[in-house]
Amino acid sequence: MGTDEELIGRVGVGDQDALAELCRRYERPLYHFIARHTGGRDVEDLYQETWLRAVRAAPRFDPSRRFSTWVFQIAVNLCRDWHRRPPPEPVEPDDNLASTSDAPEARIDARRLLAALPEAQRTVLLLRYYHGLSEEEAAEVLGCPRGTVKSRLHAARERLGRFVESA
């Protein structure tokens, strides 16, 4: 089917099969990233909007860039916008998330840990620790220098460390 970059190029000229293949490849990583970033709220809407933005911007995609960092950048921007919105009414836990848990306490714990972080630190932690992006890739996604990624990671680790120790 070709590389991710070739596929998004084909999406730029209206190829639906190429989009379907990209969705298949990135469904889980993107969905997981958004779910962890927002604590499981509005995940499907944000996921769909990520793809719609990607399709809209596909004709302008720079083939010298990596698709993975590009699409995560779109997701990060959407999640940031989502966090800037006024806080919603308290909601029931996401059934879908709950149903996949073998260890509910651990799940809540991890979600509480992530929720304890400021948005910028949470984003960098998710990209680096959950999705295995390198520091360069995380810096590209976030549009910041590599040193900022390092310092945010360090701050996130310190904060989480205090949280874990106090728990």
Partner 1 sequence: MTGCEDALVAFLLDQVDAAAVDHIRTCPRCRAEQPVVRALAVRLAADPAPTPPPTLAPRVLTAAGPLLARNAQGAAWRAAWPAVARALAAALIPLPAILVFDVALVRAIYSLLGAVLPHGLSLYLVVNHAALLALLLTLTYGAVPFLAARQARLLLQDGYRHG
Chain contacts with partner 1 (rule: CB under 8 A): 11-16, 19-20, 23-24, 27-28, 31-32, 35-36, 40, 43-44, 47-48, 51-52, 55-56, 58-59, 94, 96-97, 100-103, 106-107, 109-111, 113, 128-130, 132, 135, 150, 153-154, 157, 160-161, 164-165
Residue 142 vs residues 3, 22, 96, 115, 120: alpha-carbon distances, Å: 23, 21, 29, 19, 9
Q: Give the contacts of 36 (CB within 8 A, at least 6 positions apart).
A: 111, 114, 126, 130
| CA angle, 62 then 68 then 74, to 5° | 80
- Whole-number Å distance between alpha carbons of 118 and 126: 12
